[in-house]
Amino acid sequence: MTIYVVANKKGGIGKSTTAVQLVTGLALKGRRVWAVDGDKDQTSMLLALTIRMNSGLPGIAASELSDGATQRAQVRLQAADFDDVVIAVGARASGSLRAALSVADVLLIPFAPRSFDVWAFENMVNLVREVQEMRDFKVLAFLNKADAAGQDNERAIADVAQYGYEIAAVTIGDRKSLSHASAAGMHVSEFKGADQAVRREVADLLEAAINLASN
């Protein structure tokens, strides 16, 4: 059983989008997966997975657990019933972030070119390091909403690299189909409007996360 946490203190960076793709991608691989939405202001993942079910696609277990202590207790209690758990943390949900890190096996940190906020990242890195002193977990940062051209992708990757975290070889482009699929609770491979390029990127990111979990 692997607990994946998707977090970044910066808002609007693709945490919920990534979490929907992870959870649906794992479910499509036949894994029993539980989606935990730690964002009480914007339960985007939970809403998307509800839309998924209402549209007739196979349902995925999902809960809103935004209170830190409750989230930690419930995840500890229920995680063993699943093959994987995916926790999406809200940008301002510091209690949920700490709770999620205290149970995480793999932390995925999406970051974007330009909107990369050094202070928010540094803030989060400090918390990640503090928790890692007590228990270790793996960290995979990846570039989301990558530009099709230009230097900004490389600059953002260089900024994040100075913190010493593993950065995924795969980058996720700025892709409308990914946004639409995720809002409908669909994996890009279930979504007609998603082309091969975005399907490949999302599949590669999932493989990178699974590989990290099993190493």
Ligand X SMILES: Nc1ncnc2c1ncn2[C@@H]1O[C@H](COP(=O)(O)OP(=O)(O)OP(=O)(O)O)[C@@H](O)[C@H]1O
Interface residues toward Mg ion, by CB under 5 A: 15-16, 44
**CA separation for the pair 39, 196 (Å, rounded):** 31
Exposure string over 38-74, b if 16+ CB within 10 A, otherwise e: bbeebbbbbbbbeebeeeebeebbbbbbbbbeebbeb
Residue from 83, 117, 147, 174 in contact with ligand X (CB under 6 A): 174
Site track for ligand X across 24-63, x = CB under 6 A: ---------------x--x-x-------------------
CB-side exposure of 118: number of CA atoms within 13 Å?
Answer: 6
Residue from 54, 126, 179, 211 in contact with ligand X (CB under 6 A): 179
- The secondary element (H helix, E strand) that includes residue 68 is helix 68-78
| Residue 145 interacting with ligand X (CB under 6 A) | yes
Residue from 14, 95, 113, 185 in contact with ligand X (CB under 6 A): 14
For 36, the token pair is 């935990």
Least Å from the CB of residue 87 to Mg ion:
12
Binding-site ranges for ligand X (CB under 6 A)? 11-17, 39, 42, 44, 90-91, 144-145, 172, 174-175, 178-179, 182
